Amino acid sequence: MALDAAHDAAVPSRAGATTGEDPGWFKENRTAIVRHAVILLFMVIILAPLAWVLMMSIKSLPDSMRGDFWPRKFDFSHYSFVFERIHTLPINLFNSIYVTTATVLTTTVCAVLAGYALVHLRPKGAGIVVTVLLVSLYFPVRVVSIISIYETQHWLGLINNTSGLILPYITLQLAISVLIMRSMFQLVPHEMIEAARIDGAGHWRTLWMIGVPMVRNGLVVIFIVNFVTAWGEYLLCLTLVDDEAKRTMPVVLAAAQGGQGQWAWPNLAAVYVIVVTPGIIAFTFAQKLFFKGLAEGVVKG
């Protein structure tokens, strides 16, 4: 690591050329090789647990107890088994999809409207709103507020109600989503908004036709951030919903004791893969936009 790779390759290559031997090539690129080896080691560490679950989900039952990474016999039937035999599973999965979709859509709409208003309409008191949102990021709101959110939901008759979860879920990442949208809209020149207004477009039209297309990358970021939060939320669902059938997937998975009956290890792993894959696939497709949005909105803000 003593030298930059390009530098390293350029300078001693003269020496390598005179000897003209393979060990010379190794010496020249030693730092680059070590660097790639270290990066590769980190990549393996990141991917190994996921590879383990994936393999577990396609192992035969005896292999699942053996612990070897590569099974002696593959068995792909666990995926259909969990849907056919675990009766609450489709319900839990539906609960998760329903609650997450509602949360992501509502939060995104809220954040776009608020971000636009804070930057381009600048009402009096906008500064206070931004300050309060910022401060809320540093206070452990999620933990402390659980006491009185229970009371609120009880008062609204939303205890043990799956739809009731959507309300607190919306606010989990609302502050950060608004702040991301705010920094995205700061990149939209005020003159463009003004021009659209002068051409006779109302605020709604201006936002929809001019604003939203320009903050597309930020939308991807808050979509993913809110999806990840709602899809995996545990504390609120555990506290506010008692019935197994009304709960979302994360709470069910966390409570499942591996190895027993319907929750035999490969079944459990299959459910896990089903729950975790949509997010990873969606991210892989959206990653270009996501990284652009991250660079524009998050790191700056």
Partner 1 sequence: MAETIASDQAGLYPGRMAGYLAQLRQGAGAWLFLLPTLAFFAGYQLWPIIRVLWLSFTDYQFLTNDPSNWVGISNYSEALRDPLMWKSLGRAALFTIMFLPGTIILPLLLAILIDRVTQPRLATVYRVVLLIPAVIPSTLIFVLWKWMYNYQVGPINHFLVSTTGLFTLHNAPQWLGGTALTLPSIAIMEVWWGLGYHTIFFLAGLAAIPKDLPEAARIDGATEWQVFWHVTRPRLAPIVMILVVLRFGTAMAVIDEYLIFGGFNRASPTYTWTIFMYDQAFKTGLWRQGYAAAIGMIGAVAMMIVMVFLIRIFRPRG
- In the window 158-187, what residues touch partner 1 (CB under 8 A)? 167-168, 170-171, 174-175, 178
Given the complex with partner 1, which of 23 and 157 has the nearer CB atom? 157
One residue of 11, 17, 109, 245 binding partner 1 per CB under 8 A: 109
Given the complex with partner 1, which of 23 and 37 has the nearer CB atom? 37
53 binds partner 1 (CB under 8 A): yes
145 binds partner 1 (CB under 8 A): yes
Give the span between the Cα atoms of 234 and 9, in whole angstroms. Answer: 51
CB 156: neighbour CB atoms within 10 A?
11
CA 108 to chain centre: 14
Instruction: Please report the sign of the dihedral spanned by the C-alpha atoms of residue 276, residue 282, residue 284, residue 287.
Output: negative
One residue of 74, 76, 208, 291 binding partner 1 per CB under 8 A: 291
128 binds partner 1 (CB under 8 A): no
One residue of 3, 187, 192, 212 binding partner 1 per CB under 8 A: 3
Given the complex with partner 1, which of 129 and 214 has the nearer CB atom? 129
Give the nearest distance from C-beta 19 to partner 1 in angstroms. 26
One residue of 82, 86, 231, 246 binding partner 1 per CB under 8 A: 231
284 binds partner 1 (CB under 8 A): yes
Given the complex with partner 1, which of 65 and 209 has the nearer CB atom? 65
Stretch that binds partner 1, among 12-20, 71-79, 214-222, 291-299 (CB under 8 A): 291-299
One residue of 97, 129, 212, 274 binding partner 1 per CB under 8 A: 129
Give the span between the Cα atoms of 262 and 271, in whole angstroms. Answer: 11
One residue of 26, 69, 76, 94 binding partner 1 per CB under 8 A: 69
147 binds partner 1 (CB under 8 A): yes
Given the complex with partner 1, which of 19 and 105 has the nearer CB atom? 105
Residues 6+ apart with CB under 8 A from 284: none
61 binds partner 1 (CB under 8 A): no
Q: Which of residues 245-274 bind partner 1 (CB under 8 A)?
A: 250-251, 253-254, 258-259, 265, 268-269, 272
141 binds partner 1 (CB under 8 A): yes
One residue of 11, 15, 17, 43 binding partner 1 per CB under 8 A: 43
